[in-house]
Amino acid sequence: MLPRILRKDETNLFVKGLLKKYRVLGPVKKDSEFWFDEIRFAEQLTFQYLTTIFPPAQFFFLPTETLFSYEKGLAMQNYERYDRKQLILGIHPCDVHGILVLDKYFLGTYEDPYYLRRRENTIIAALTCQEIGDKCFCESFGTGPDLKGNYDLLFTDLGDRYLVEVGSNAGKQIVQVANLAQATRDDFSEKAERMKRAKSKFKRKVNTENLPEIMLNNLMHDIWIELDKKELSCGNCSLACPTCFCFSIHDVVDLTLKGGRRWREWDSCQLLEYAEVAMGGNFRKLRGARCRHWMNCKLCYVKLRHGVFGCVGCGRCIRDCPVDIDITEVARRVRGE
């Protein structure tokens, strides 16, 4: 379907139309920061942001959730009831790619039914980036500032209007209902120029050529000894990362022994207890070893297993690290640059 144009003075009306049919999630301002939240009215939404506090992946892989509960021998799975689809509006390309990495784990050989239901019930309306944060390096991994696919709708700010590209039947239905005007070649030419300018603004870069093999061949590099003395193992990087997929499982039984529940919550390989096994054994007691494992997951292991990097270059881990550990600097050091 031909791309469309949404004039900025019509944006609120467009969002109001979405609110009638979908549960809309989008970036909203929180003090000086931004985060994804449910949009109750159109004026809440803002497209003028660099990076949100948490990635929107949290709406697919929940920070904590009950998997099932049981009572008197009767088990009940905790599937949500979806009365209407949800639509994530204004998600940046790097975060879309973060969801695609999670797909590899939750929709691979063994499908996670909870993740699958949310994924199937969600429409992705992405937004290209034009202002680049000083922590961003998505271009190095091909995950921004533009998006080549895996979206239902893709918005690009063209000044007084948005170019709206359609990537699915669901997106096609939305623009048809909104009766948006068709885009022209000039609109695409302007987008191309804006994307070119955006790519020139990146301050951080990672050389990804043969990076997984280089990381794997440098497990004893001096950088890991240095990080052992610096690393706090606080887990902030895992909390902010759009591709971290680890979780722990907990079973709670009522004192009556007649009921209980099983729930899961986010976990992090940066925490001491993560790699602990029976009798207190731990394969990664040192903080440097845990940092090495996390970095290799992003720059090596996921790529070797699934063909995509576990890092999408959003820069949140750099921003949120209390001791200023920079994954791009680690990659350079390991490479010998």
| Start-to-end Cα distance in the chain | 46
* pLDDT computed for residue 98 by the predictor: 98
pLDDT at residue 2 is higher than 90: no
pLDDT at residue 1 is higher than 80: no
pLDDT at residue 82 is higher than 90: no
Query: Is 115:102 a contact under the CB 8 Å cutoff?
Result: yes
- Of 256 and 199, the one with more pLDDT: 199
Tell me the pLDDT tens digit for each residue of 107-126: 998 999 999 999 999 999 99
Name the burial class of residue 291, with classes exposed (0-12), middle (13-18) and buried (19+) by CB atoms within 10 angstroms of its CB: buried
pLDDT at residue 71 is higher than 90: no
pLDDT band at 278 (very low <50, low <70, confident <90, very high): confident
Query: Is 55:98 a contact under the CB 8 Å cutoff?
Result: yes
pLDDT band at 24 (very low <50, low <70, confident <90, very high): very high
Helix (H, G, I), strand (E, B) or coil at 156: strand
Tokens of 183: 């885009």
Q: Quick count: other Cβ atoms within 10 Å of Cβ 329?
A: 15
pLDDT at residue 83 is higher than 70: no
Number of H helices, E strands in the chain: 12, 12
Tell me the pLDDT tens digit for each residue of 134-187: 999 999 999 999 999 999 999 999 999 999 999 999 999 999 999 999 999 999
pLDDT band at 76 (very low <50, low <70, confident <90, very high): confident
CA triplet 280, 283, 285: central angle to 5 degrees?
75
* pLDDT computed for residue 136 by the predictor: 97
Tokens of 214: 């280089």
Task: Give the per-residue SS3 of 232-286.
Answer: CCCCHHHHHCCCCCCEEEEEEECCCCCEEEEEEEECCCCCHHHHECHHHCECCCC
CA-CA-CA-CA dihedral for 35, 37, 40, 45, to nearest 10:
30
CA triplet 311, 319, 217: central angle to 5 degrees?
40
Average pLDDT, the chain: 94
Which CA distances in Å does 335 have to 141, 214, 296, 314?
Answer: 16, 7, 13, 21
pLDDT at residue 73 is higher than 80: no
* pLDDT computed for residue 194 by the predictor: 97
Query: Mean of the pLDDT values across residues 216-230?
Result: 95
Query: Is 165:182 a contact under the CB 8 Å cutoff?
Result: no
* pLDDT computed for residue 81 by the predictor: 66
Whole-number Å distance between alpha carbons of 174 and 273 = 47
pLDDT band at 72 (very low <50, low <70, confident <90, very high): confident
Tell me the pLDDT tens digit for each residue of 291-309: 999 999 999 999 999 999 9
With residues binned 3-state (H G I as helix, E B as strand, rest as coil), the percentages for the chain, rounded to 5, are 40, 20, 40
pLDDT at residue 44 is higher than 80: yes
